[in-house]
Amino acid sequence: MSQLFTVSPFKPSCGADMKTEKEILAEFTALVFEKGQPSAMDIFTKQNLLKGSLTSVRLAANDALELSALMRQDEQNKLNLKMKESGLPSLTTMHNKAFRDFLKIANRGIIKKEQEYRLVRSVSETTILSLEQQSVAYKLLESYEQTHS
C-alpha cells in the first residue's frame, strides 16, 4: 500500500533535534513555496502546515514537488542549498521518492485511494517520467476518475 511520502526519504539524525516526517515535509513544502510561489506563503507556512494532518502535509509536499519541477535550474540549486543548510532532503531525493511510489502504483496497475491519485497526477505533470511512464500514468488517472466520479 503506497502512500505519499509514508516514510521519511532519509534517516534523520539521532538526538533531541530529530524531526518527524510531518516536520520535514512541512519545512520542505514551506521552503519550496517561499521560493517558487511567494504569494501562497500565507497558506504554506510551516506553522500552518503543522496544524494539519500528516495526510494534508503529504499532499502539500506533492504540490511543492510539482512546483519545484517548474523552477529554473538555478532556482532549484539555490533551493537545494537552503534545504541542505536546514537539514532537509534535496529536491532530487524527494523526486526519487515520488518516482518510487509511482512505480509501485504503476506495477500494481490500479490507484487505490485519493492520495495515490494525487501522487500520480502530480508526477505525471513533471518531467521525471518517460513518455511510456506518462502514458501509464494517464491511463491510471483515467481509470481512477471513471470509477470515482
| Residue 14 in this model has a pLDDT that exceeds 80 | no
Q: Are 51 and 86 in contact (CB under 8 A)?
A: no
Question: With pLDDT > 90 as the criterion, what percentage of the chain qualifies?
Answer: 44
When divided into structural domains, the chain yields a total of 1
Is 89 part of a structural domain of the chain?
A: yes
CA–CA distance, 53 with 147 (Å, rounded to integer): 26
Is 10 part of a structural domain of the chain?
A: no
Domain ranges, residue 109: 21-147
Cα dihedral 98, 103, 104, 105 sign = positive
pLDDT tens digit string along 69-101?
Answer: 888 999 999 999 999 998 899 888 888 888 999
Is 139 part of a structural domain of the chain?
A: yes
pTM comes to 0.73
Q: Confidence class of residue 46 from pLDDT cuts 50, 70 and 90?
A: confident
Is 8 part of a structural domain of the chain?
A: no
Provide the angle, in degrees to the nearest 10, between the axes of the packed helices 73-85 and 21-36.
Answer: 140
